[in-house]
Amino acid sequence: MANLRVSLLLAFLSCGVISPSAPTDDWNQPFRPQYHFSPQSQWTNDPNGLVYFEGEYHLFFQYNPFGDEWGHMSWGHAVSNDLLHWHELPVALPEEHGVMIFTGSTVVDENNSSGFCTQGKACLVAIYTGHTPETKSQAALQTQNLAYSNDRGRTWRKYGGNPVLDLHMSDFRDPKVFWSTERKHWVMVASLPNEHKVKIYGSPDLKKWTALSEFGPAGATGGQWECPELFRLPVEGKAGEARWVMKVGVNPGARLGGSGEQYFVGRFDGKRFVNDNQATQTMWTDYGKDCYCALTFNGLPREHKPVMIGWMDNWQYAAKLPTSPWRGQMTIPRELSLRETPEGIRLVQQPIEELRALADGKTGELKTHSFRFADALPLDKGDEVGWRILMGDGKYTAIGYSIRRKVLFVDRTHSGLVGFSSDFSARLEAPLVLSGKELELKVLVDRCSIEVFADSGRVTSTNLVFPPADAMSIKAFGGAPEIRAEQIRSIH
Ligand code: FRU
């Protein structure tokens, strides 16, 4: 009897439940990512305000609620319990009185330093750039502003005393704020895009800011500097050793054209960042074309590895991507660390461990464009070795390594739709000198994106592709092993 009741209950439940692996129409358009965040509709660019608070990960994002091109910039909002399944919430910070809400960060104000928190509990404070566009009579203005929430980010109030930082400049933006345990104050890094500088400020209460120092110009100084970040990372295998990473977006002027990001490794004493390397040395966070304005989470528990999410796109063609009714998506969340290499200390990125929960373990014939694989390329078999993936209708994307030229490459010249922008079709190469006999690669594919993590995450290459609907075959070339890709279930 009890068994019958259980099976009746199960039968009842299974009728009314939509299988999580069958995406609804809202999430099944051509090229729609199945396990990466994309807004249900409209335009997104940079991730904003990443923060973990009371068991939830918050992803805010540059969002146009009114269209699928850049404009009316506001902070869209989504929450997740596992960094994979995102639940989109109403716009958190809308454009208001002609002031757009540009990129910024969110902190957990544990001790109510701001005075915004109620009922003796911690609250969330967002620090964002208010952008007033230029008019015939006035230049544009960018200032730093606050908004706060006392209900786990569900509703927000803009601070009446805004702006909290105003240099009377048209370009001064993208504040990343964190708590300095060294100096026991809040630290803000914000960019002076045209000067190629990052300004560093300190504050006891998020409201009064004092200039502490500045960094730059250094490294790549073409175009504008945007989306600065400063965070501490452990050095792999060296207990207790850590360095600070200063990351800066460059647009245009990135290594492969358009937007991209560079980083510097050094020390930070709560006031000043000192680069360990020569100012002329340029290091890139990603060697593909489509990872920009990446941001790390504030508020993670101490035992949590640092996690970063980027905008998977490039300003060169972001407005032309052939997707609808949304445009723009985020990278897979990536765990960060530093590694000592023969060239010096370098940033290392790995897809978050949690992704395992979506991998179905099946390695038969692929039925979707959402899959992953990991394998090693032999380095003793001639010159170019790798795989053609997303093959079909004469189209494919090649991922491989040139042994002679010591470069990792992702070639999307034959990947499918490429003609929407003259900047899209390209073979994207990354220098990668190897000492072993193999190159270990992890590859994530999700309908319109390919993220390659090479040599245990020392080099990443993130690129968009728009393959034909049935292009799913994979073929090895140059002596690479046949791979067995594993499907990744949809989060929708
Ligand atoms: C970078 C960026 C930021 C700015 C935002 C506006 O992609 O230009 O500097 O805050 O986008 O949407």
- Convert the pLDDT of each residue in 427-447 to its tens digit: 999 999 998 999 999 999 999
Between 15 and 159, the higher pLDDT residue:
159
Q: Say if ligand 1 is within 6 A of residue 227 CB.
A: yes
Amino acid 360: pLDDT: 78
Grade residue 22 by pLDDT with cuts at 50, 70 and 90.
Answer: low
CA 53 to chain centre: 19
Distance 321 CA to ligand 1 centre (A): 18
153-164 as b/e: b if 16+ CB within 10 A: beebebbeebbb
Distance from C-alpha of 220 to C-alpha of 282, rounded to nearest angstrom: 6
- List, for residues 147-189, the tens digit of each pLDDT value: 999 999 999 999 999 999 999 999 999 999 999 998 999 999 9
Q: Note whether 412 and 397 are within 8 A (CB).
A: yes
Run of H or E including 4: helix 2-16
- List, for residues 43-74, the tens digit of each pLDDT value: 999 999 999 999 999 999 999 999 999 999 99
Amino acid type, 193 = P
State yes or no: pLDDT of 14 exceeds 80. Answer: no
Q: Say if ligand 1 is within 6 A of residue 74 CB.
A: no
State yes or no: pLDDT of 266 exceeds 50. Answer: yes
Average pLDDT over residues 36-43: 98
Q: Say if ligand 1 is within 6 A of residue 190 CB.
A: no
Amino acid 335: pLDDT: 98
Tokens standing for residue 468: 């034909």
Tokens standing for residue 49: 């305000």
The mean pLDDT of the chain is 94
Amino acid 23: pLDDT: 58
By C-alpha distance, which of 67, 72, 79 is closest to 43?
67
State yes or no: pLDDT of 13 exceeds 50. Answer: no
Nearest atom of ligand 1 to the alpha carbon of 70: 12
Nearest atom of ligand 1 to the alpha carbon of 46: 7
State yes or no: pLDDT of 260 exceeds 60. Answer: yes
Amino acid 20: pLDDT: 41
Q: Say if ligand 1 is within 6 A of residue 64 CB.
A: no
Phi and psi angles of residue 379, each rounded to the nearest 5 degrees, phi first:
-110, 20
Q: Say if ligand 1 is within 6 A of residue 100 CB.
A: no
Distance 254 CA to ligand 1 centre (A): 15
Amino acid 420: pLDDT: 98
Distance 226 CA to ligand 1 centre (A): 7
State yes or no: pLDDT of 76 exceeds 50. Answer: yes
Distance from C-alpha of 131 to C-alpha of 199, rounded to nearest angstrom: 18
Distance from C-alpha of 431 to C-alpha of 381, rounded to nearest angstrom: 19
Neighbours of 264 (CB within 10 A): 25
Nearest atom of ligand 1 to the alpha carbon of 104: 10
Amino acid 75: pLDDT: 98
Grade residue 365 by pLDDT with cuts at 50, 70 and 90.
Answer: confident
* The pairing of beta strand 197-203 with beta strand 185-192: antiparallel
Amino acid 9: pLDDT: 43
Distance from C-alpha of 367 to C-alpha of 382, rounded to nearest angstrom: 32
| Enzyme catalytic residues | 46
- List, for residues 107-134, the tens digit of each pLDDT value: 999 999 999 999 999 999 999 999 999 9
Which DSSP category does 242 fall into?
E
Whose Cα sits closest to atom 8 in ligand 1?
A: 226
Largest CA distance in the chain: 81
Give the percent of the chain with pLDDT over 90: 91
Count of helix runs (H) and strand runs (E) in the chain = 1, 33
Tokens standing for residue 292: 């920009």
Cα separation values, 347 from 136, 245, 263, 450, 492, Å: 45, 8, 8, 20, 32
- List, for residues 314-341, the tens digit of each pLDDT value: 999 999 999 999 999 999 999 999 999 9
Distance 360 CA to ligand 1 centre (A): 37
Q: Say if ligand 1 is within 6 A of residue 106 CB.
A: no
State yes or no: pLDDT of 41 exceeds 60. Answer: yes
**392 class by beta-carbon count within 10 Å (0-12 exposed, 13-18 middle, 19+ buried):** middle
Grade residue 286 by pLDDT with cuts at 50, 70 and 90.
Answer: very high
Q: What are the residues whose beta carbons fall under 8 Å from the beta carbon of 356, sequence distance 6 or more?
A: none
